[in-house]
Amino acid sequence: MSDELLSKSATEIGALIRDKQVSPVEVTRQSLDYARSKNEQINAFVSFRDEQALAEAAQAEKEIAAGEVRGPLHGVPMALKDNLYVAGEVTTMSSKIHGEFVSEHDATTVAKLREAGVVLTGKLNMHEYAWGIDNNSPHFGPVHNPWNLDKVPGGSSGGSGAAVAADMSYSTLGTDTAGSIRIPSSANGLVGLKPTHGRVSKFGCFPLAWTLDHIGPMSKTVADAAAMLGAIAGFDRRDPTSVDAPVDDYLAGLGGDPNGLVIGVEEDYFFRDVDSEIERMVRARIDDLVARGATVKNVQIPSLRYSEWTELATSLSEASAIHHQDLLDRPQDMGSDIRFLFYLGELFSSVDYLQAQQARRQIKQEFTAALADVDVIMAPTLPVMAPDIGSEVADLNGSPVDLVQAFIRYTGPSNLTGLPALTVPAGLNDGLPVGLQLIGKAFDESTLLRVGGYVEESDPMGGTRAPHSASPVRAV
């Protein structure tokens, strides 16, 4: 085993395991050893499953030797965000209140990953109750960005993003209520997919806001994201928001070329108040696709001007309802940042919430109309770069702006509409990754992944990997 194997993508290491070139037991053992050695520096893990993981890897090895291959992720070790329940084991939500919570059942996504033969190595740090975007936990400490240890990794799935970027996990799942898959994926140079609302079951995931929550993959490559979605997608009657829609073969759907692709660009919202270098990189990636045969069509979504208030009213109201009793009984055990937000959420009236749902419906209708004329809408994932840990502001072309408001501004609309959204790396700005976001039609993740693959083919990162990873050199 070598550091080069740790830096492989999930589908790459899965192919080596499937072809019996490497043992899933040895891959799992090295992944665990390496993750432990890096954790003091990155702080991505909150717990490890050494004994259980090695037993699962041994079972995978036995099955593969017998020709019983479950799919492209069979035998691949990975850790999961600590708000996804694992039966009989502690799931903390990075909180003090649920610090010893043990579920009797696996989350549906966890069960599906087990069915795919994935080896679970541990649980990953996150912003408390998934209610934040910098992953600076008062209970478990801050997660550090592997591209620059002084910078935030994004959140709330910050441990997930940092773990994959640092090669501590081959892939993972994040949860996304206002951008918490795409924000840390962008900040860590990963591919992050928020599927259509209802595509992936949320049963066994501690909620933040019922109507906005999603679960999806955070991966090194588009192929990994496709394989992960293929493993976890599907109807689940235990989740009342689950939709019984056909599930594609997302891996098989990759490929082709962008000739004839129609890219939607919404200038008024998604290219307003954005870091100039981020804008340049995103437009350069769009130009790359145009040079390969794609066309650009300007679209208009006027109701986006209401999206920030609508997201705020919806998420704060729903989150405060979920945590209302703990806010009455144990407010001192919450981090000061989320306690403030839960109190704030109790100030919204029923009129405020219902008006927000009316605005939400209008935004979704306008997105649907815009997407009728294009294949995808492209935009920056984040309008600003990741700031230092502990900062409450980010830099926007020389001016300070509120970090939370800036980080969720371009990602929140896809939670309101439930439409699928994908972030892929667009390049590096002063040594930190920049993400490009694609928004697509409902239940058409295949198109998003295929187009994300076209962007990936141009190698916008130039083969560069995070300095604090297993192989911090230019990839070959």
Query: 3-state secondary structure string, 362-376?
Result: HHHHHHHHHHCCCCE
- Name the catalytic one among 137, 180, 185, 317: 180
Mean pLDDT of the chain: 97
What CA–CA distances, in Å, run from 271 to 154, 180, 278, 300, 422? Answer: 21, 21, 10, 12, 17
Query: Are 6 and 471 a contacting pair, CB within 8 Å?
Result: yes
**pLDDT at res. 476:** 38
Report d(CA 421, CA 336) in Å as an integer: 31
**pLDDT at res. 219:** 98
The residue among 33, 81, 29 whose CA lies nearest residue 55 is 29
Q: Please, is 285 exposed, middle or buried when counting C-beta atoms within 10 Å of its C-beta (0-12, 13-18, 19+)? A: buried
**pLDDT at res. 471:** 84
186 carries an active-site annotation: no
Mean pLDDT of 233-246: 98
pLDDT, tens only, 29-64: 999 999 999 999 999 999 999 999 999 999 999 999
Report d(CA 49, CA 20) in Å as an integer: 24
* Side chain identity at residue 411, one-letter code: T
- Name the catalytic one among 156, 219, 320, 446: 156
CA 101 centroid distance within chain: 24
Which single residue is written with the structure tokens 């699928």? Answer: 420
- Name the catalytic one among 7, 8, 9, 81: 81
The residue among 34, 84, 130 whose CA lies nearest residue 338 is 130
pLDDT, tens only, 240-282: 999 999 999 999 999 999 999 999 999 999 999 999 999 999 9
**Is pTM beyond 0.85 here?**
yes
156 carries an active-site annotation: yes
Which single residue is written with the structure tokens 């929550």? Answer: 213
157 carries an active-site annotation: no
pLDDT, tens only, 183-203: 999 999 999 999 999 999 999
**pLDDT at res. 61:** 98
pLDDT, tens only, 116-158: 999 999 999 999 999 999 999 999 999 999 999 999 999 999 9
